[in-house]
């Protein structure tokens, strides 16, 4: 009889443990599903961040190509034009500029050429695009002459990148 | 009265079966190993020593003869077994030659007799008889944990060793100075009788009263120490077998049959369980064993519950740990991508990183444009194809791979061929006929696929 209070205490403790175990067991499916849902959401977030990271890496890689160039800007347009097609008549007009990624800006220029042959036009475009950084022809408009193979006017929109920081 | 039946099988693996019904005490030691039980006879002195050991003493099972312990089927006019069990004491009280209050009693079996009645195999023994038997056993050096019914023990052990009865079965225990006869049919115990004078004719009369049809085929099973030697209680065997003819057999080691019946019944939860040393007479040691066993069971249950709780908590902690680690990775990665710490924007990290990258996107477009395929290739292809097909270009717009061309050719077939060549060169254009054209030529308009 002496150990009755001890037994009672033990039974109470065991009962409480069983009750707790029971409650945890009842709650387990719901919390398991909730835990899995949370982990799944986190994994999806990480996948999406990896996708964003891939885009950022691509952007950084693009810039790195230009960062490695020695020249901070291409040769002036008129110099290239005269060198490619001596005696060429042209009109240049500035279309604007803006900032690009860190340490760079872009500059766009309109170029109107008159009386140029197909061959000269190809040579000229080649000379512009071979610059490093290139004068990229982003748009080209040709108006033909009355005869086959004749060109009366060519409009070019060219864009280049200029490094602003050493 | 509490008809508590305390058996040894739940608390012990070893049991001493004590047959103290005759001049000589016979003891067997039975051991339970899983579902198997084995036994061996034991010297009385060793048995007394083992039974009295302070620690690890085996359980001791003995029995009460049919003279001391009444066993009978009681019909209860109730269909429900639980209710019948509760009502049975009142009916038993009427049936007994002494008040039930002076007895220890129990119900060894309760079964449905008819669709509306049950019958219970009730056992009752007067406390003074039980006490006397306990005192006798104590004097011999045994304090029994279990006091079984000899009548039930003989029947169940015979069934255990010889299989169920195919007809009426007589189990005869020829003791040193008395003969006990148990009658049953199939698997059912029917009645028991014990006599000091087996030759007197009273036993024959009793058997005649028990058997429903005279001269019915019976099966004899003989056991007990009285089968050996001259003048023992087994001397009546030829006469009884002549009066009630049928196959007869002796069990193996018949003198230990009853002792091993007590021990085996105590070690296994077989049918017809019985312990009349219950209530106030319960052996202190046995009671303590049960209490300890119950405590151990509760403790085991508690440990299992505790493990379960701990497992649950550990599992939750692990899940939270993984969750926190993932959250930390998300916060730090998104912070790097966004270019600033995002500790306050919990749950919005991915969106913030997306916004930051989208905001920076236009700054990289000039780089993308600068590294796009040169327009030179497109231009020279176009001009070459036009020259080869005698196509006159009126106006040509070229932005990357998007071409819009207004021109004319010598005939429509040539214009279509020119358009086909462009498609083969990778331009997705379609050609439309145009009315306005120089004299003698066919005008056309080349538009990008899907364009207006």
Among candidates B302, B387, B394 on the partner chain, residue whose Cβ is nearest the Cβ of A17? B302
Contact: B309, A24; criterion CB under 8 Å: yes
Going from the C-alpha of A109 to that of each of A96, A98, A105, the distances in angstroms are: 7, 12, 14
Q: Is A9 on the interface with B (CB under 8 A)?
A: no
**pLDDT over threshold 50, residue B4:** no
Lowest-pLDDT range of A122-136, B118-132, B133-147, B381-395: B381-395
- Is B14-282's fold the same as B375-448's? no
Predicted local distance difference test score (pLDDT) of residue B165: 86
Residue B347, Cβ density class (10 Å: 0-12 exposed, 13-18 middle, ≥19 buried)? exposed
For an interface test with A, the pick among B291, B305, B317 (most A C-beta atoms closer than 10 Å) comes out as: B305
Nearest-CA distance A66 → chain B (Å): 8
Residues of B in Cβ contact (< 8 Å) with A143 = 394-395
For A100, the closest of B333, B367, B393 (CB atoms) is: B367
Number of Cβ atoms within 10 Å of the Cβ of B399:
16
State yes or no: pLDDT of B339 exceeds 90.
Answer: no
| Complex ipTM more than 0.85, yes or no | no
CA–CA separation, B205 and B214 (whole Å)? 11
Count other Cβ atoms within 10 Å, centred on residue B450.
Answer: 7
C-alpha neighbours within 13 Å on the C-beta side of residue B284: 1
Residue B436 has pLDDT above 80, yes or no: no
Do A10 and B364 count as a contact with CB atoms less than 8 A apart? no
| Fold (topology level) of B14-282 | Nucleotidyltransferase; domain 5 (3.30.420)
Helices (H), chain A: 4-67, 77-84, 118-129
Q: Which of residues 279-318 of B touch A (CB under 8 A)?
A: 295, 298-299, 301-302, 305-306, 308-309, 312, 316
Q: Which residue of A25, A49, A101 is in closest CB contact with B367? A: A101
Query: With a CB-CB cutoff of 8 Å, which residues 326-365 of chain B face chain A?
Result: 326-327, 329-330, 333-334, 337, 349-350, 353-354, 357, 360-361, 363-365
What is the pLDDT, as a whole number, of residue B425? Answer: 80
How confident is the model at residue A79, as a pLDDT?
Answer: 93
Q: Is the pLDDT of residue B7 over 60?
A: no
Q: What are phi and psi of B341, to 5 degrees?
A: -65, 140
Residue B117 DSSP class: E
Tell me the shortest Cα–Cα distance from B118 to chain A, in angstroms: 37
Q: Provide the shortest C-alpha distance from residue A28 to chain B (in Å).
A: 8
Q: Taking 90 as the threshold, does the pLDDT of residue B75 lie above it?
A: yes
Cβ contacts of residue B354 below 8 Å, gap of 6+?
A48, A52
Higher pLDDT pick, B433 / B232: B433
Cis peptide leading into B335, omega within 30 of 0? Answer: no
Mutation for B interface: A140, A151, A152, A159, most B CBs within 10 A: A140
pTM metric for this prediction: 0.60
Provide the residue-wise pLDDT of chain A in tens; the chain has 166 residues: 455 677 788 888 888 988 998 998 898 889 889 888 999 999 999 999 999 999 999 999 999 999 998 888 999 999 999 999 998 889 999 999 999 988 899 999 999 998 788 888 889 999 999 888 999 999 999 988 766 666 788 999 999 999 998 7
d(CA B370, CA B363): 13
pLDDT band at B1 (very low <50, low <70, confident <90, very high): very low
| Nearest CB neighbour to A17, from listed B309, B329, B333 | B309
How close, in Å, is residue A5 to chain B by CA atoms? 13
What residues does each domain of chain B span?
14-282, 298-370, 375-448
- Helix (H), strand (E), coil (C) string for B136-164: HHHHHCCCCCEEEEHHHHHHHHHHHHHCC
Give the distance, in angstroms, between the CA of residue B75 and the centroid of all CA atoms in the same chain. Answer: 35
Residues of A within 8 A of B350 (CB-CB) are 45, 48-49, 52
Cβ count near B102 (within 10 Å): 14
Q: How confident is the model at residue B173 (pLDDT cuts 50, 70, 90)?
A: very high
Structure tokens given for B426: 């990778």
Nearest residue in B to A8, CA atom: B295
Is the model's pLDDT at B414 over the cut of 70?
yes
Query: How close A88 gets to chain B, by Cα (Å)?
Result: 19
In angstroms, what separates the C-alpha of A147 from chain B's closest C-alpha? 7
- CB pairs A-B closer than 8 Å: 173
Sheet strand arrangement including B117-126: B69-76, B117-126, B103-114
Q: Measured between beta carbons, which residues in chain B are less than 8 angstroms from residue A34?
A: none
Instruction: Assign A151 to helix, strand or coil.
Output: strand
CA of A116 to nearest chain B CA: how many angstroms apart?
13
| Tokens found for residue B164 | 């169920």
Strands B392-399 and A136-144: antiparallel
Q: Which of residues 12-51 of A touch B (CB under 8 A)?
A: 13-14, 17-18, 20-21, 24-25, 28, 31, 35, 38-39, 42-43, 45-46, 48-49
Q: Determine the CATH number of domain B375-448.
A: 3.30.1360.100
3-state secondary structure of B73: strand
* Interchain pair A99, B398: CB under 8 A: no
Check if A95 contacts B (Cβ < 8 Å): no
Spatial CA neighbour of B198 closest among B223, B178, B220, B183: B178
Lowest mean pLDDT of B198-212, B255-269, B319-333, name the range: B198-212
The whole-angstrom distance between B110's CA and the closest CA on chain A is: 33
B371 and chain A: CB distance < 8 Å anywhere? yes
Beta partners for residue B109, in sequence order: B121
Q: What is the pLDDT of residue B451?
A: 57
What pLDDT, on a 0 to 100 scale, did the predictor assign at position A53?
A: 94
pLDDT of residue B249: 93
Among A55, A101, A121, whose Cβ lies nearest the Cβ of B357?
Answer: A55
Distance from CA of B146 to the nearest CA of A (A): 23
Q: In this predicted model, what pLDDT tens digit does every residue of B23-69 receive, in sequence order?
A: 889 999 999 887 788 999 999 999 999 998 878 889 999 999 999 99
């Amino acid at each position: 009889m002496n150990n009755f209070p001890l037994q009672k205490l033990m039974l109470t403790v065991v009962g409480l443990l069983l009750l707790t175990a029971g409650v945890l067991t009842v709650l387990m499916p719901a919390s398991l599903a909730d835990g899995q849902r949370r982990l799944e959401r986190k994994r999806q977030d990480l996948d999406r961040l990896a996708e964003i990271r891939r885009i950022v890496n691509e952007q950084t890689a693009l810039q790195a190509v230009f960062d490695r160039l020695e020249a901070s800007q291409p040769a002036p347009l008129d110099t290239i034009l005269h060198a490619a097609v001596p005696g060429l008549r042209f009109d240049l007009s500035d279309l604007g500029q803006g900032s690009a990624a860190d340490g760079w800006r872009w500059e766009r220029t309109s170029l109107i050429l008159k009386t140029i042959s197909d061959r000269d036009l190809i040579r000229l475009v080649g000379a512009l695009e071979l610059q490093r950084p290139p004068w990229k022809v982003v748009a080209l408009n040709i108006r033909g002459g009355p005869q086959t193979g004749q060109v009366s006017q060519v409009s070019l929109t060219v864009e280049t990148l200029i490094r602003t920081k050493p | 009265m509490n008809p508590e039946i305390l058996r040894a099988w739940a608390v012990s693996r070893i049991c001493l079966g004590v047959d103290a019904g005759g001049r000589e005490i016979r003891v067997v030691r039975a051991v339970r190993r899983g579902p198997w039980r084995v036994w061996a006879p034991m010297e009385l002195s060793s048995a007394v020593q083992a039974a009295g050991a302070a620690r690890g003493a085996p359980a001791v099972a003995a029995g009460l003869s049919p003279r001391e312990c009444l066993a009978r089927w009681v019909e209860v006019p109730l269909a429900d077994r639980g209710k019948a069990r509760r009502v049975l004491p009142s009916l038993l009280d009427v049936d007994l030659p002494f008040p039930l209050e002076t007895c220890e009693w129990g119900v060894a079996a309760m079964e449905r007799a008819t669709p509306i009645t049950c019958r219970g195999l009730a056992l009752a023994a007067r406390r003074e008889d039980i006490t006397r038997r306990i005192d006798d056993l104590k004097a011999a050096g045994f304090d029994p944990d279990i006091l079984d019914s000899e009548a039930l023990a003989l029947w169940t052990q015979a069934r255990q060793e010889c299989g169920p009865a195919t007809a009426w079965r007589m189990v005869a225990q020829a003791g040193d100075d008395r003969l006990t006869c148990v009658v049953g049919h199939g698997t059912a115990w029917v009645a028991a009788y014990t006599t000091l004078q087996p030759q007197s004719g009273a036993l024959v009369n009793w058997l005649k009263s028990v058997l429903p049809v005279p001269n019915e085929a019976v099966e004899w099973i003989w056991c007990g120490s009285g089968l050996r030697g001259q003048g023992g209680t087994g001397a009546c065997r030829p006469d009884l077998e002549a009066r009630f003819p049928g196959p007869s057999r002796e069990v193996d080691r018949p003198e230990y049959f009853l002792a091993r019946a007590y021990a085996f019944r105590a070690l296994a939860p077989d049918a017809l369980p019985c312990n009349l040393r219950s209530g106030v007479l319960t052996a202190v040691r046995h009671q303590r064993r049960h209490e300890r066993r119950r405590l151990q069971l509760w403790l085991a249950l508690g440990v299992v519950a505790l493990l379960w709780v701990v497992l649950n908590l550990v599992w939750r902690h692990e899940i939270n740990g993984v969750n926190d680690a993932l959250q930390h990775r998300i916060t730090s990665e998104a912070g790097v991508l966004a270019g600033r710490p995002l500790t306050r924007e919990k749950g919005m990290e991915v969106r913030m990183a997306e916004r930051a990258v989208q905001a920076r996107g236009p700054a990289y477009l000039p780089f993308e444009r600068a590294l796009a395929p040169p327009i030179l290739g497109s231009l020279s292809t176009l001009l070459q194809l036009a020259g080869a097909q005698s196509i006159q270009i009126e106006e040509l717009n070229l932005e990357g791979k998007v071409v819009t061309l207004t021109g004319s050719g010598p005939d429509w077939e040539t214009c279509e061929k020119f358009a086909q060549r462009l498609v083969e060169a990778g331009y997705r254009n379609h050609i439309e006929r145009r009315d306005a054209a120089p004299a003698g030529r066919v005008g056309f308009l080349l538009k990008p696929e899907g364009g207006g």
